[in-house]
Amino acid sequence: MTLRLASRRSPLALIQTREVAGRLQQLDPSIEVEIVALSTRGDEMSDRSLAPIGGKGLFISALEEALRDGRADAAVHSLKDVPVDLSPEFEIVAVLPRGDPRDYLVGAEGLDELPAGSCVGTSSLRRQSQILARRPDLRVVPTRGNVNSRIDLIGQGRCEAVVLSRAGLERLGLRPAGQSLDPEAHVPAIGQGAIAVECRVAAARHRELLVALHDPDCARSTAAERAFGRGLGVDCSAPVGAWAGCRQDGTIRLLAFAGSVDGRRIHRESLSGHDPQLLGSQLAKRFHEQGIRNYFAATP
């Protein structure tokens, strides 16, 4: 039996897809996995911000098209790139055990160590908002491209530091000098650090095998985060974050953040509960009661 996995062409995406392939072959050594590497609009538009032109959904559209036309049986994504409102045509059939969800500051041992006026590179409005809320004296500049090219901005003298996903760095085997940012103060992106496998609802030939990859705790945590984003009515390019974890008693603690892009207005709040969908929607309601939608007025 052969299973075709659609993937972006980026080094990190291919590593994540190979991880899925390896786990599948551990479950069933007779399975053959073919990786269908595709270029996406998000990768092709590496010279501009994604927020005004469709957000991170641009990273998955080509993969979903491959599922739709039969070139692939499943697609592998960074869950943080998957819109919280998935088309009814598709479903997330597995969420793998999560990597480290924290942001990582490359080039400094902490934001407080950077001199006033230092330049920090990030492609994320969420990161920008939280950085400027803490250090309004810093300059935040947009940076896109692969992980190594962004790290190289420091050596080129274009930035004093850049902020990246720690899970992505670890999967690439990179250990640049720097410091992980406290997720209580720098709330991660919805789904950050998690790998998701997507199929067409009507054509999930290998669904039973793929579901065996599912990590229940990670799935419940990220479901709460995604329910928050859905309830807030924003996409994954907005200055919004959410981070959840399962406790031993089965409850989930969900911490969420929303802010203006200049960092002048921010709101963080947490809530605990057992039902991830209900928890996410309840916390989103609290944010709406705070007038959070007004925070995004200046968001591009």
Q: 178: left (phi > 0), else alpha (psi -120 to 50), else beta? A: left
Please report how many Cα atoms fall inside a 13 Å half-sphere around the Cα of residue 269, on the Cβ side.
18
Q: Reply yes or no on whether the pLDDT at 66 is more than 70.
A: yes
pLDDT at 263: 94
Is residue 186 scored above 50 in pLDDT? Answer: yes
Question: What φ, ψ does residue 178 adopt, rounded to 5°?
Answer: 165, -155
CATH number (domain holding residue 78): 3.40.190.10
d(CA 77, CA 63) in angstroms, rounded, equals 9
Is residue 265's pLDDT more than 70?
yes
Do 26 and 85 belong to one domain? yes
**What is the share, in percent, of the chain residues with pLDDT greater than 70?**
92
Residue of 28, 47, 73, 81 marked catalytic: 81
Residues 19-43 have pLDDT tens digits of 999 999 999 999 999 999 998 765 5
* R_g (Cα) of the chain, nearest Å: 19
Distance CA 279, CA 282 (A): 5
What pLDDT, on a 0 to 100 scale, did the predictor assign at position 57? 58
Q: Of 67-71, 200-204, 273-277, where does mean pLDDT reach its minimum?
A: 200-204
pLDDT at 266: 94
Domain that holds residue 255: 230-298
Domain co-membership, 274 together with 157:
no
Distance CA 85, CA 34 (A): 28
**In the predicted model, what is the mean pLDDT of the chain?**
91
How many residues can be counted in the chain?
A: 300
Strand partners, 78: 195
Amino acid symbol at 141: V
Q: In the annotation, is 100 catalytic?
A: no
Mean local confidence (pLDDT), 271-275: 97
Average pLDDT of 241-249? 95
DSSP 142: -
Same domain, 294 and 209: no
**Same domain flag for 150 and 259:** no
pLDDT of residue 202: 82
Q: Strand, coil or helix: what is 119?
A: strand
Q: Are residues 64 and 205 in the same domain?
A: yes
For the whole model, what pTM was predicted? 0.90
pLDDT of residue 44: 44
Is residue 223, in this structure, part of any structural domain at all?
Answer: no
Answer with the residue of higher pLDDT: 55 or 83.
83
Say whether both 88 and 7 belong to one domain.
yes
8 Å CB contact between 82 and 60? yes
Answer whether residue 185 is part of any domain.
no
Task: Report the CATH number that the domain containing residue 278 is assigned in CATH.
Answer: 3.30.160.40
Strand order in the sheet with 139-141: 139-141, 119-121, 161-165, 103-106, 178-180
The total number of structural domains that make up the chain: 3
